[in-house]
Amino acid sequence: MTIKIKINDQPLEVPEGINILEAALGNQIPLEHFCYHRYLPVAGNCRTCMVELEGPRGRALTIACNTKVTEGMVIYTNSPGAQTAQKSALEFLLLDHPLDCPICDKAGECKLQDNYMKYGLYDSERMVPRYFKGGKDLSIGEHIILDQERCVLCTRCIRFVDEVTETSELGIIHRGHESTLTTFPGKALDNAYSGNTTDICPVGALTLKEFRFKQRVWFLKKTESICTKCARGCNLWIEQNRETVFRLMPRENPEINRTWICNEGRMSFNEINDHRIVKSQLYGQVDDLGSMVEKIQNILEGVEKEKILGIASPWATLEDNFILRKLFKNRWNLDHLVSLLPPLGESDSILRLPQKYPNGVGLQVLEIPELSKSIIEKLNDRHFEVLLVMENEFWQFASLELQQSLFTIKHIIVLTTHQSDVFQKIEAVFPVRAFAEKYGTLINAMGYLQKINPAINSYPEIVESSIFIARLAQKMKIPGFEFETPVEVFNALSQEQSIFPKIRFHQIPSHGLFIPLDTNGVAPAPFSGHQKVDNVFVRGHQFK
Amino acid sequence: MQFEPQLTKRFNIENSYTLNVALQHGAYASLPKLFSKKPEEVIEEIKISGLKGRGGAGFPCGMKWSFIPKNSTKPIYLVVNGDEGEPGTFSDRAILSKDPHLLLEGVIAAAYAIQAHVAYIYVRGEFFREIQILNQAVEEAKNSGYLGSKIQGSDFQLEVFIHQGAGAYICGEETGLLESLEGKKGQPRIKPPFPAIQGLFGCPTIVNNVKTLSSVPWIIANGGAAYAAIGTKDSTGTHIFGLSGHVQNGGYWELPFGMPMLEFIETYGRGVKNGKLKAVIPGGSSTPVLTAQECEDLTLSYESMAKHGTFLGTGGAIVINDQTDMPQILKNLTHFYAHESCGQCTPCREGTAWENRLLQKIIQGEATARELDLMVEIAGNMEGKTICALAAACAMPVRSFIKKFRGEFEKYLKPSGVTVGIQL
Amino acid sequence: MSVVFKKEVLDEFEIIANRYPTRRAALLPALWLAQREFGYLSLEVLDYIAQIVKISPVQVYEVAEFYTLFHKKPVGKYHLQVCRTISCALNGALDIQRAIEAHLHTKPGEITHDKLFSYELVECLASCHTAPCMRINEDYYENLSPEKVNEILNQLVKENNQNAI
């Protein structure tokens, strides 16, 4: 249902039930705001989103965030009355702000800065000495630094810890202009989602220790991606400069993660940069890629096709697993391609799911089963001569018994992204691209097919698992592996797999494509018990 | 002035706060009549009476009660606002300590009209002795069948609890009070939703001032029309008016609306103390100040106050003599509002303290005319731009003081043209 | 000192808590009880109250810091709250303050060395017609003058000495 309203004399049709602020922002009509956040209860305290409404007794000021649009509503965001109110609210906010932008990490994405440039631009006229509002550089948690004098007391962070995590670590003490954001003395802001408070802080009051003083935000280039730390598949921005990832930021997706991510996902940016393997290794020693490929080609061509065991991966993309499966299907025995899943981990009713990998559903779609009893029996019988492992660091989580039997296989070939000590025991280790370096698709536990995109290209010489296997297959003169990029692989697999709509990679929307699967419903919807967000905004408008 | 006191009739009786004495002097006499009416008839009677909220805003009481949704599936609450904190106001405290049963009688009537079965009386924390008296009154009323189930043989049931505030002016604002009652900081709520729909604990709630409810028993007993015949056309009934400041005899007196302000000061306050009349803040410190001249045709009524650009407010007038330095008085008030701002809305949180700091600078002789103009501008940027009226309550005195007594402020200023740099 | 309510106090609290549909609504009463029992609301006390009201400590901290009648630091046996607002100011509140400061040698917000008196300035106490006024502990003292203040303070010292005997 849509209704007709007018903003600044411009006729608009907007969804029924949304508020004026969303109606304006969704139609590219700028309107200043601090305390409003789409996924938090309305507080209405910053008083910056003031608009004028035409009424029976003339125009009246109101806050846009707490006023729902009604049929025929006539709204002004740019009338003199509204503009004075917006401007003066901003002036009040900036009154005792330290203006330490040169040393503030929020500079460049600070609402005070942005709004001043857009709506303020008045001459500063405090006329009295500045009042100092509290402490700087206070460590209030493992990841969080609080700067009290930068705080504009919008209560976004408080509403987040009250309503989303329900942990209530933050509060404002004192009254009036002495109001100060704080934790209870001696108690930390240390919930599994605490990093989000730094995203929603409109100013530099809450900053992330891991990002402080690391990089100016205007140098960062953003790439749409997906978090790989669990089966939720939270939407991310990978933010990098000069091939170094400085932070992972949540990317709004109303159905999957709203504007939140967990700390574990957020901190995984380090893994993108650190401990990468970039050269092929023979028993732990760097060796020439060409000769190693030739070597394993000989092994694979020389061995009986029944004696090859493949391990697919819930961390790899659909494309990677698809190509591996295709090779087993076309050349070897498909029954000998299995996956290994790590034990279940911590979960909650907000975002985190116990499956600590991003593409378990993808394996199910490709009908790659988990390691079965019969395979284990064959392993114990020393049946296999070749083990081909793709992006599955089983040595990190598999039982010692299983690891022992796997390591008894004569020829072990591993495609992987990160360095490990076990490589000394492995005949051939080939580096492949990690998730921040490649195109690909993942299916999350709710059944959304989602895209990852390359954010960095630190190691142009290495390729994706799918392309590595495709090239190997081509070398082995196996037809049907003429792929140069994962995008081509996806386009082929979407034709082949009946479960997918026949779409091409670039047609997958950035917020994912819902695929009706038997497995849907396995994962709980996020935020069970939390405020519903249906019909609260203009679809497609990203909230900042 | 000849009239029948309604609110203060038992004030001068010894031990009037005990149930026995109160009963001997007519307490709870309105209950049989109350229970003979249907709740909606009671609301209608209050509407006819023209009774307005005595807490300061003057909202028609009957209309407020009628906002409670019919057939609510949630419990309905009555909350009594006894958080008397407006400077210049002190008569609720008198009712609480001298005639708590009058209030309880009004509480029963209001609760019956809106069909609330639980009422909370929120009393400001400083009134420790008054709370003791009130608690005793509730206990006595309960033991004698005036509270509890089947009150005086009716089917009506009501529990009354006393809730002690803890020192915050803002809890006098009805939604701030509700927050405080719920165990939170007394920060006013954004509206909508209004308390009548979603108030205490998310349920339909009516919040009424002590004096408003204490006015109800008389209306029940004598009818709305009889009440409306007292006072003036738009200000019906009686009110307890207070006088403080520079008067010979400060105090409170129950009067019908309509008495001229100067007569009130002369007759009851026995005139201005230590000088001549300079100004009156007519209804608690938040209402715009009036000059002596403006007071000449001012009467104690909602309409006369409105005509003079001010408000009846709480009815507590503060008298100021001609020996008084107005900037100093305004500084006293801006300090009050800066101290009492709950800190929620930006314009109030920052504005009240900014005004206070600017005024301090002016009084120290360090300011120019620009600071004075800035004060007026800030007042404009505060008023009407916040969740509750505290910002306006600060802005109105600032604007009216500077407008009406600008000369006194200018005496403090440095000659204009002197550039004052911004201190960082 | 371990801050825990005695059983009678805990029972008293539970009776009060039953008056409200939410447990949090009993926070102000709980803090009043705590102040009565422990004299002032230390962080330790606030943490304890959070436990019995079943909310987070910072939510108790916020509330305790919001309301002026809750003492966040120790106060004297006699705690003086002197009104500074308009009607009292017009009637000589400043003289009252000076008299107290001279008598007790303290500034607002301080406590005397013998911990007998503490003194603070407060906003309007709703006793404007009897200005200037102050509260000492639970009681109002009205129509004050500097002489009367001295008398009251001397009387309190005497009362305290007598009780000591």
Q: What average pLDDT values come out for chain A (544 residues) when binned by 10 residues?
A: 95 94 95 94 95 94 96 96 94 93 95 89 84 92 97 97 95 96 97 97 97 96 97 96 96 93 96 92 95 96 95 97 97 96 93 94 93 95 96 95 95 96 95 96 93 95 96 96 96 87 92 79 50 61 73
CB B138 within 8 A of CB C2: no
- Name which of B168, B350, B384 is nearest A177 (Cβ-Cβ): B350
Give Cα separations from A376 to A370, A396, A399, A402 (angstroms).
11, 19, 12, 8
- A179: DSSP letter: -
**DSSP designation for B288:** P
Note whether A243 and A456 are within 8 A (CB). yes
Of B163, B168, B332, the CB nearest to C67: B168
Tokens of C161: 């000495």
Q: How far apart are CA A205 and CA A190, in angstroms?
A: 17
Structural contact between residues A427 and A411, judged by C-beta atoms closer than 8 angstroms: yes
Cβ–Cβ below 8 Å for C19 and B87: no
Is omega for the bond preceding B217 within 30 degrees of 0, making it cis? no
Helix (H, G, I), strand (E, B) or coil at A213: coil
Sheet holding A440-443, edge to edge: A440-443, A448-452, A513-514
Which residue type, as a one-letter code, is found at position A143?
H
Q: What is the pLDDT of residues C68-127, one digit of tens each?
A: 999 999 999 999 999 999 999 999 999 999 999 999 999 999 999 999 999 999 999 999
Q: Are B356 and B334 in contact (CB under 8 A)?
A: yes
Partner-chain residue, chosen from A171, A174, A185, that has the shortest CB–CB distance to C59: A171
In whole angstroms, what is the distance from residue A387 CA to residue B416 CA?
Answer: 89
CB atoms A174 and C43 under 8 Å: no
Closest residue of chain B to C53, computed from CA coordinates: B183
Q: CA neighbours within 13 Å on the CB side: how many for A448?
A: 25
Measured distance CA(C73)–CA(A54) in Å, rounded: 52
In whole angstroms, give the CA distance from residue A377 to residue A381. 6
Q: Which of A68, A61, A60, A59 is nearest to A88 (CA)?
A: A61
Torsion on CA atoms A295, A297, A299, A304, rounded to nearest 10: 180
Q: Which CATH class is domain B238-321?
A: alpha beta
Output the furthest CA–CA distance in chain C (Å, rounded): 50
Contact B371 A127 (CB under 8 A): yes
Closest to B127 measured CA to CA, from B80, B164, B170:
B164
**Residues A432 and A464 sit within 8 Å (Cβ to Cβ):** yes
Alpha carbon A464 to its chain centroid, in Å, reads: 20
The sign of the torsion formed by the CA atoms of C135, C139, C144, C150 equals negative
The contacts of residue A462 (CB under 8 Å, 6+ apart) are A278, A431, A432, A433
Secondary structure in 3-state letters for A424-477: HHCCEEEECCCHHHCCEEEECCCCEEEEECCCCCCCCCCCCHHHHHHHHHHHCC
The one-character DSSP state at A350 is: S
> Do B387 and A45 lie within an 8 Å CB cutoff?
yes
- Secondary-structure percent of chain C, ordered helix, strand, coil, rounded to 5: 50, 10, 35
pLDDT for the residue numbered A530: 46
- Within chain B, all domains assigned CATH 3.40.50.11540 are found at 19-228
Per the CB < 8 A criterion, the answer to whether C90 and B246 are in contact is yes
Q: Cβ(A458)–Cβ(A436) under 8 Å?
A: no
- Contact between residue B133 and residue B45 where contact means Cβ atoms under 8 Å apart: no
Half-sphere exposure of B1 (CA within 13 A, CB side): 18
What is the helix (H) or strand (E) element at residue C67, kind and residue range?
none
For residues C44 and C112, give the distance between their C-alpha atoms in angstroms, rounded to a whole number: 24
- The span from the CA of C47 to the CA of C44, in Å, is 5
Residue of C nearest to A184 (CA): C58
Superfamily of domain B19-228: NADH-ubiquinone oxidoreductase 51kDa subunit (3.40.50.11540)
**Paired residues of B205 in beta bridges:** B77
Q: Which residues of A touch B424 (CB under 8 A)?
A: 130
pLDDT band at C159 (very low <50, low <70, confident <90, very high): very high
Size of interface A-B (CB pairs under 8 A): 106
Please give the single-letter amino acid code of residue A368: I
Whether the Cβ atoms of residue B223 and residue B261 lie closer than 8 Å to each other: no
With CA atoms as reference, report the closest residue to C25 among B360, B182, B103. Answer: B182
For the record, the structure tokens of B188 come out as 């006013």
- Other C-beta atoms lying within 10 Å of the C-beta of residue A285: 11
User: Which 18-77 residues of chain A touch chain B by CB within 8 A?
Assistant: 42-48, 50, 61, 63, 66
Per residue in C35-81, pLDDT tens? Answer: 999 999 999 999 999 999 999 999 999 999 999 999 999 999 999 99
Identify the segments of chain B with pLDDT beneath 70.
1, 416-424
Looking at beta carbons, which residues of chain B come within 8 Å of C131?
244-245, 250
Distance (Å, whole) CA B111 – CA A295: 91
Chain B nearest-CA distance from C46, in A, is 14
Q: What distances in angstroms separate CA B203 from CA B16, B92, B155, B182, C121, one per listed residue?
A: 35, 26, 22, 12, 38
B347 contacts A175? CB cut-off 8 A: no
Residue B379 Cα, gap to closest chain A Cα (Å): 11
Whole-number Å distance between alpha carbons of A507 and B133: 75
Distance CA A237, CA C35 (A): 50
CATH no. for B326-417? 1.20.1440.230
Q: How many residues does chain A have?
A: 544
> CA-to-CA distance for A280 and A540, rounded, in angstroms?
44
DSSP, collapsed to helix, strand or coil, labels residue B244 as strand
Strand order, beta sheet including B205-209: B159-164, B118-123, B77-82, B205-209
Among the partner-chain residues B129, B320, B329, the one whose CB lies closest to the CB of C139 is B129
pLDDT value at residue A521: 47
Q: Taking a C-beta distance cutoff of 8 angstroms, is the pair A156, A181 a contact?
A: no
Distance (Å) from the C-alpha of residue A225 to the closest C-alpha of chain C? 36
Domain with CATH 1.20.1440.230 in chain B: 326-417
Query: How far is the C-alpha of B393 from the C-alpha of B170, rounded, in Å?
Result: 11
Cβ separation of B126 and C125 shorter than 8 Å?
Answer: yes
Here the ipTM equals 0.96
**Angle formed at CA A507 by CA A506 and CA A510, multiple of 5 degrees:** 85
Q: Do C58 and A184 touch (CB under 8 A)?
A: yes
The minimal CB distance from A171 to the residues C43, C47, C62 is found for: C62
| Distance of alpha carbon B385 from alpha carbon B375, whole angstroms | 16
Q: For residue B285, give how far its alpha carbon lies from the nearest alpha carbon of chain A (Å).
A: 18
DSSP, res B245: E
Minimal Cβ distance to B87: which of C27, C128, C129? C128
What are the residues whose beta carbons fall under 8 Å from the beta carbon of A487, sequence distance 6 or more?
A439, A505, A506
Minimal CA separation from C149 to chain A, in Å: 31
Beta bridge partners of A224: A237
Kindly report the nearest CA distance between residue C68 and chain A, in angstroms: 9
Alpha helices in A213-317 (DSSP H): 263-267, 269-273, 289-302
Burial B59-84 (b: 16+ CB within 10 A, else e): eebbebbbebeeeeeebbbbbbbbbb
Q: How many helices (H) and strands (E) are present in chain B, helices listed first?
A: 17, 9
